[in-house]
């Protein structure tokens, strides 16, 4: 079974949605996946922040068009993609402990139901080195 390691740096709606779509594909291929959430990405995983994310990182002038298109096409919310993928295959989501602290997350209970644990950057680097596929978003 192939292993995917994802470094999720961005906490923007467009990149979180892209990550969710990639996780869905990995789940459909029955891959093992480890997601390491870094810096701005950690803010999206703070408890009750999931639906508050409405910024985009790319083509910011098209933000409203992007959000309207997601709604019109009935595209799942980013966190629904993550949840569905976790139900389908072995996906673990880790928050970088420094990133969590930046956004007020000191312990696992400060994050939403998707997060499995907190970790240090060394664990991410080791996982990236051992993975068949490594992505950084």
Q: Report the predicted TM-score, pTM, of the whole model to 2 decimal places.
A: 0.93
Distances (CA, A) of 5 to 36, 37, 56, 109, 130: 8, 11, 23, 24, 9
> Which tens digits make up the pLDDT trace of 36-83?
999 999 999 999 998 888 888 888 888 899 999 999 999 999 999 999
Return d(Cα 3, Cα 26) in angstroms, integer: 9
Distance separating alpha carbons of residues 48 and 46, to the nearest angstrom: 6
pLDDT tens track for 83-129: 999 999 999 999 999 999 999 999 999 999 999 999 999 999 999 99
* Beta-ladder partners of 94: 36, 117
Report the candidate in 117, 132, 109, 113 with the shortest Cα–Cα distance to residue 35.
Answer: 117
Q: Which two tokens stand for residue 56?
A: 């985009």
Domains (ranges, CATH) in the chain?
3-136 (3.40.1260.10)
């Amino acid at each position: 079974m192939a292993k995917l390691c994802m470094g999720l740096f961005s906490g923007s709606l467009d990149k979180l949605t892209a990550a969710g779509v990639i996780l869905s594909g990995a789940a459909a291929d029955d891959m093992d996946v480890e997601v390491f959430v870094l810096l701005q990405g950690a803010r999206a995983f703070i408890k009750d922040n999931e639906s508050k994310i409405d910024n985009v990182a790319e083509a910011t002038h098209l933000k409203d068009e992007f959000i309207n298109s997601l709604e019109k096409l009935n595209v799942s919310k980013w966190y629904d993609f993550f949840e569905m993928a976790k139900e389908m295959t072995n996906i673990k989501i880790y928050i970088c402990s420094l990133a969590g602290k930046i956004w007020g997350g000191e312990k696992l209970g400060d994050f939403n139901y998707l997060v499995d644990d907190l970790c240090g950057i060394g664990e991410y680097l080791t996982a990236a080195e051992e993975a068949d596929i490594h992505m950084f978003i």
